[in-house]
Structure 1
Amino acid sequence: MPKADDLRCKALNELLLYYLRERIGAQNIALKHLVITDLHQWYLFDAATWEKPVAQNKALVKRFQDFETGRLAGRQTDFFYKEVAAPFFDALDDELPVVYFTLDNYSKILRNADRKDDAPLIALHKLLSPQHLLKLPFANDSNSLDRVFYAELLHLIGLEEVKKKGKWLIGRKPPERRDRASLLEAAITQLDSLDKLERVERLHTYGDTRDEQFFHVALELCITWVNRVLFLKLLEAQVVTYHGGSKAHTFLHSGRVRNYDDLNSLFFQVLARKPQERSTGMAERFGNVPYLNSSLFEPTELEHRTLFISNLADEQPLPLHKATVLKDDRLKRLSGTLPALDYLFRFLDAYDFTSEGGEEVQEENKRLINASVLGLIFEKINGYKDGSFFTPGFITMYMCREALRPAVLRRFNAA
């Protein structure tokens, strides 16, 4: 292995031969990084820094080609290392930038349970990430839709995406695949059994047929309910972060919210009321939940005329999505059924709803779902009739820059 203060060794000579065989022999112009390692010590070279001093060195390339075709005195790799590679590195005037680290420096951090000293692991993780080693693009467009989350959320609601006339539209599942416990079907059942459609104002705007009216009224209710739940999940994540990651401050789980009645109480007897205005029972169960002065937690006109989420039947089993994110202790995907509300909470808990960009190590491997992603999902669901198209973030940025920069310059020049 090389030494930190002197890289010249057999491993570096081997790396040169392998590089030339790939870059010159195979004409591979897509090399990303060159690595020397014994799994403890690591030396990383950016392949681009080898292009000029190595791949474009005509004398070295000719020597390499002569060696490969047997025109030199030796054919063994040791001959190449001694007679070609070593003299090349000895005479090299150009710098070959290298990143060096040893895992021994991180051993103590990796083995202890103290998260306060984990910060150095972030740089190491980024260095060894596919995005860095393979120079992959970062999936950081604010308009990126998490398809895995989106598909399972649709399943929980009772919806699916279908392609019609070149557009992906959201609709009710066909009769043979409908789940009675999904939010949509549970709402339709109650709308029908309680004869609530007749109380809806301008019912004709919800569709021409009875089935269409049931679907559109129920979906509007479901969107309201799920919107509240997702907002609460974002709020819960912020509360937990504020209290140093303490799980004692979580509140959106089956231990606290046991049924749809409890969820309805959380909406209107907790979030919509100041702490001093809450009942004793609600204050004891949800004392760590802040008051939100938001119209989101005020009953809608449609709820007043039809259903609240507390009207839905509890404990109905809902089949798990075929590609559910839920896994058992052995990381095997779960199958079977779960009570619908418990399924919803466990599904949401499988994701990280904290704000992105935090410089700390996440102990649990959870996909990040932020407010931007949730906004996209609800735009897509709300546009279920016509389909949706999201403008990529870089295009939005370009449009804003091209519109605002000239306007600002004109104002400054006119001043």
Structure 2
Amino acid sequence: MDFSLSPELVELRERTRSFIADEIIPFERDPRVTSHGPNEDLRRELVSLAKKAGLLTPHASKELGGLGLNHIAKAVVFEEAGYSTLGPTALNIHAPDEGNIHLMEEVATPAQKERWLRPQVEGQIRSCFAMTEPSPGAGSDPSMLSTTAVKHGSDYVLNGTKWFITGADGASYAIIMARMEDGSATMFLTDMDKPGIHLERNMDAMDACFTGGHGVLRFENLRIPQEDVLGEIGKGFRYAQIRLAPARLTHCMRWLGQARRAHDIALAYAAQRQAFGKPLAEHEGVGFMLADNDMDLQTARLHIWHTAWLLDRGEKGNYESSRAKVVCSEASWRVVDRAVQVLGGQGVTTETIVMRIFMDMRAFRIYDGPSEVHRWSMARKLVEQSHRK
């Protein structure tokens, strides 16, 4: 693996870094950042800035107006975007839209792409991905999917409840995972203003970085025509893997930027804040935390880059993306937790952005599969490998 970056990618990294610092970070205290994420008005303003800078939706194909970044390039650019809590929103690379854009490019028909994907890449609309359900439905175990899809003439009729649906409030369209009569799963596309879709409520959550927050959706006799099936009937779980492996990794990329921001703030504070006759950074306990932060940041970055390299080589990278998800989510959490400790009182107040990062970051160890589920999956694959030797 060659760790050198092309001159073009270095230029893009520096351009993204400057854009985030100069154009986006000043918005972090904007009153339009609500407890359920930046509102739609703020999102559109940020998107317009990124479009003007030539940085909007960089992971989308050039045919659709993106930059066509490969996975390694995404690792570099997404980390820079993640340096601000609003950076992923501005570049249109936030969850769930980033993963949905990737999935739609891979699976959607030309007509579906023109109807939903193109305006999404242009930042005009948002989407949501409706898979998670209340108990006894699907959560970490997708085989427990309980939302049903029944064929009725040329349509499919969906019934069920989903929750923790990020961005549901204000989304223009949804990708819904539902169980067929034969027990298989299928993905369906639908406009969110159709009869039969009910946004029951928005859930109060620790994080406030996703536009639309996290909603509870109820589908009541929702009719979806055959032409709005995403991909093939019965292949929903297969398509979920197309979406989830890269999406796990892009989560790691964005949150690495957040962790680096928290570390930089703590480092600057420790270098100038005096205590017991010298700067905090010269006290061994604080210095060790800063050194540990640097090691965790580098470890996370190497896992991201290695997995991205495998994906760019055409490998599935399912095992490696699970490993990266666990390593990065836990390493980034440790970095932010130490940053709070170094900052002391400032770390638990809004005097700096670190408190907000801390609250947002905790969910990363749960999103896209809890650490325990990934460890369990990895362990099974390790045992299978040992039996084949």
Query: Which TM-score band applies after superposition, normalised by the shorter structure?
Result: under 0.3
User: Which of structures 1 and 2 has the bigger CA Rg?
Assistant: 1
TM-score normalized by the length of structure 1: 0.23
Normalising by structure 2, we get a TM-score of 0.24
